[in-house]
Each structure stands twice: as structure tokens, then as C-alpha cells.
Amino acid sequence: MGRKWATVVLVAALAGLLVGLGIWIRQPRDFADEGLVRQAMAVGEVGQMVEGLAGEWPQWRGPKRDGQMDSESARGLLAGKPAQRWETELGEGYASPVLVGGQVIALARKGAEEFLQSFDLKTGASQWLSRWPCSYKNDYGNGPRASPTVSGNLVFALGAAGRLVAVQLADGQVVWQADLLGPGMGSSPRWGFAGSPLVVGELVIVQVGAPSGVVAFDRATGEEKWRSGSDPAGYSSPLLVRAGGGLQLVCLTGRRLLGMDPANGEILWQEEWPTEFEVNAATPVVWTVAGEDGETLYAFVTSGYGRGCCLMRANREKEGKFWNASMVYRNTRMRSHFGSPVRVGDLLWGFDEQMVTALDWRTGEARVKKRGYKKGTLVASGENLLLLSEEGELALAKFDGKELKELWRMPAFGQTGPTGKKAWTMPVAAAGVVLVRDEGRLICLEMAEVGRK
């Protein structure tokens, strides 16, 4: 019996070693193009050319999808901890709410239905409800993941099972619907659809997944206008950036980082970025810099499962419409499972697994590593950061050049903490309030400067 068990233990150990070796082999090695790093270090002023939508917080990550709040909100948070204005039962889901013209709009799930619900910003009173059936089930939550998008008089929302809906902002009446899992369309990601719809002019653009890739729908009718590639859908949301004299989509799919023509979906540049289980979840950070050879587009991406991060740069070809893309560096100093990073000055802030991390955007070198938030989320508050920990602690923090120091911290969900004991939804800070949600409640916190002078 002893010899038998010794053999079993030896075989198990060897198997574990081989699995570990295989994982080690698959992990990308650190890389840096010294010439491109030197060019990045020589950059002076950095542009912020991401195109946005009108409204206080009309879509995922704010007006420009860059995780940056306005200066008035940043001043409000500096005045002290916000106090609760109202709280309401919402439902399951990780979708971040949006805020436009005194309306707070949230996407959630109760029982066998998903729904969009509008609340009055001042009182929390429900204004309208638009719902549809949903049978999606998942061990990590049955609710939707993608934030709604408000553009003009319409709200666009994507449910976890691939129901794309457009409703009227005024009353929630359905204008059109599309099934992303319909015949000849896409395939569901393992953990449900999570990329928030992007409105570009008269188009609504989403990741549909293989075999359709990225698809654009007519904003008014829901008619398909174009489809591009055949990539599996990632969990990230596309961006619109102004570069090289025109507009460009930047989209992180389940396998690639793409620069695309928003008019027809044509791929202008690309970089392979495969991750375990195709979990490319964090939204890229994109900016531009001007130079003698024209405008250079930079895009920073980060993924979990040991994948790490990279900085890409792309320049338009001297003749033609396509772009030349090169990798500046790649490393594992920021491995974000789902929290999207922000750029504040020369630093990229995000989560390296369970540590808040700052990287020098030019070199990829780590400047800060701080625990205390687990797998949280963050947004930029001027030169500071508003952080929401996985355990529901909301904090404002300032980087003093050496370390990240908290200016205040508070339990955003009360002393009992978030429903389900985790807060994975990014906070919203605009119009004098901070909105937070867990898997049951939506809470509106009033900023000190606005509500408690």
C-alpha cells in the first residue's frame, strides 16, 4: 500500500510540474522596443482625443469612456465623504448605471426578466421600467454586465444573453430589438455579453462574436449596417478616437486589439492579444501625440489570467488609409481581471490582480503597488483617484509622488457591506453625486460640496 501511494504521489507531482511548466511557457515574456520607448520618453504634451457623448455620465466610463470625471465633481469629492441621498432595490447585475438630465438609468435582472429602469436623480423615485425575458444563468451572477448608453432621445442596452434593445429616453418604450444569438449572428461569451454599446453618429456598435465579430446597427431602426472580422467577443467595450485627421474605433476582442474604420468596419491595424478563456475585459486607454511625422495613436491594454499589459502605437501610412502598428512594450506589471485603467498625467493607474498599480506610460515601469482594495474598480478624480474596493469601501486617494495616500474612506453600502459580499461595479461620479451598486441595490451618495456646505 505504501509503494502504491508513493507512486500516486509521484505521478501527481510530475503532472503538476508539467502543468505548471506549460502555464509558464504560455505566459508572455517581458518585452520592450528600446527605440520606441525612447520616442515615448521624448513625448511632451499628450492629447486627449477620445470622442464622447453629451450628458453628465451618458455611457460606460463617462462621456468619453476614459474613466475621467469632470472638475466640479473632483472638487466635490475633495470636500469630504459623500452622504447617502437615497437607496433603492434594483436587482442582479454588474452593469454600471448612467446619468443624463436628472435621470439615473440602470440595467438589472430579477427572476426571469432583465430590465432597464429610470430613477429620478433627486429622490430615487422610479420613472419608467422596460423589461424583457431572460433565462441566462451563471455561477458568477445571473445579471447583465454591460452599461446602457444614452444618445439623444434613445437608450441602448445589451443584456447578458445578447438581447440588444433601444428604448425611448422619455418613457422607456421599446423602439427596436436585436438578438445577437440569432441565426447567422454571434456566439455567447462564457460569462455573458459585457461590452457596452458604442454610438457613433447613426450607428450602434457592439461585439457580437464569432462568426460575425464586431457589428454596427442602424441607430434608428436596428438594421445591420456592417460586420467586421470573425473574432469571439471579448468583455471589453469599444472606443472612438480622433486620430490622423479622422475617426477610428479601437476595440479589444477576445483575441485581438483592433483599430477600425467606423464607417464600414474595415480593420486599419491590429495586434494579437490572446488571453486564457478569451477574458479581455478591461477597456483600453487611448490617447494621441503630435509629432513631425504626423499624429501618433497610443493604446494601452491590460488583461488578467497572467496575461499582463502592453502599449501599442500606430501611425498612419504616408499614402493610403491603413496604419502601421508596433508594440512599445509588454510586461506583467498590470494584470487586470476586469477593472479598467485610467491615465492621470504620465501614470497609468489600474489593478494588478488585487493591487492598485501605477505604471509610467512611457516605459511600463511600476511606480506604485498598494493593497487594500482586492479586485476593485477606479475612476480618475482630477489628479486623484476614486476607488471602490471589492468589499464596498469607497475611498478618495492622492499620489504624493512616492505613494498613494487616502484622503478619506467610507463604507459605501453601510456597515453590512455589499449584497453578495462583493462590489464589482465601477462607481459613477457626476452631477454632484456618486452612484454605486451591488447585486441587489442602487445607492446615490451626495457629494459634500453640493449637498452639505
Length of the chain: 453
Considering only residues 417 and 320, tell me which one the structure prediction assigns the higher pLDDT: 417
| Confidence at residue 59, expressed as pLDDT on a 0 to 100 scale | 98
The CA distance from 158 to 209, in Å, is: 14
| Confidence at residue 420, expressed as pLDDT on a 0 to 100 scale | 87
Q: In what order do the strands lie in the sheet with 113-120?
A: 98-100, 103-110, 113-120, 126-133
Q: In what order do the strands lie in the sheet with 347-352?
A: 342-344, 347-352, 355-360, 366-370
Phi, psi for 6 (deg, rounded to 5): -60, -40
Q: How large is the greatest C-alpha to C-alpha distance in the chain, in angstroms? A: 76
The CA distance from 68 to 78, in Å, is: 15
Predicted confidence (pLDDT) at residue 19 exceeds the cutoff of 60: no
Judge whether 220 and 206 are in contact, CB under 8 Å: no
What is the DSSP-derived secondary structure letter of residue 320?
A: S
| Confidence at residue 44, expressed as pLDDT on a 0 to 100 scale | 83
Phi, psi for 150 (deg, rounded to 5): -110, 125
Query: How far does CA 264 lie from the centroid of its chain?
Result: 24
The cell for 44 is 511632451
Reported confidence tier of residue 3, pLDDT bands at 50, 70, 90? low
Judge whether 286 and 247 are in contact, CB under 8 Å: no
Q: Which single residue is written with the C-alpha cell 474598480? A: 377
Q: Which domains does the chain have, with CATH numbers?
A: 94-235 (2.40.128.630)
The cell for 213 is 465579430
| Confidence at residue 291, expressed as pLDDT on a 0 to 100 scale | 76
| Confidence at residue 450, expressed as pLDDT on a 0 to 100 scale | 56
Q: What average pLDDT is seen over the chain? A: 92
Q: In one letter, which amino acid is 222?
A: G
Mean pLDDT is lowest, of 69-83, 261-275, 282-296, 422-436, for 282-296
| Confidence at residue 14, expressed as pLDDT on a 0 to 100 scale | 47
Could you give the 3-state DSSP secondary structure of residue 254? Answer: coil
- For 373-407, b/e burial (b = at least 16 CB within 10 A) is bbbbbbbbbbebbbbbbbbbbbbbbebeeeebeee
pTM of the model: 0.92
Instruction: Give residue-wise pLDDT tens across range 329-376.
Output: 999 999 999 999 999 999 999 999 999 999 999 999 999 999 999 999
CB atoms within 10 A of CB 172: 18
The cell for 90 is 434594483
Predicted confidence (pLDDT) at residue 403 exceeds the cutoff of 50: yes
DSSP 191-238: T---PPPEEETTEEEEEEETTTEEEEEETTT--EEEEE--PPP-S---
Q: Which single residue is written with the C-alpha cell 463617462? A: 62
The CA distance from 366 to 349, in Å, is: 10
The cell for 406 is 487616502
Instruction: Give residue-wise pLDDT tens across range 285-322.
Output: 999 998 767 789 999 999 999 999 999 999 998 888 89
Predicted confidence (pLDDT) at residue 240 exceeds the cutoff of 90: yes
Instruction: Give residue-wise pLDDT tens across range 106-147.
Output: 999 999 999 999 999 999 999 999 999 999 999 889 999 999
Provide, for the chain, the percentages of residues in helix, strand and coil under a 3-state DSSP scheme, each rounded to the nearest 5.
10, 45, 45
What is the DSSP-derived secondary structure letter of residue 276?
A: G
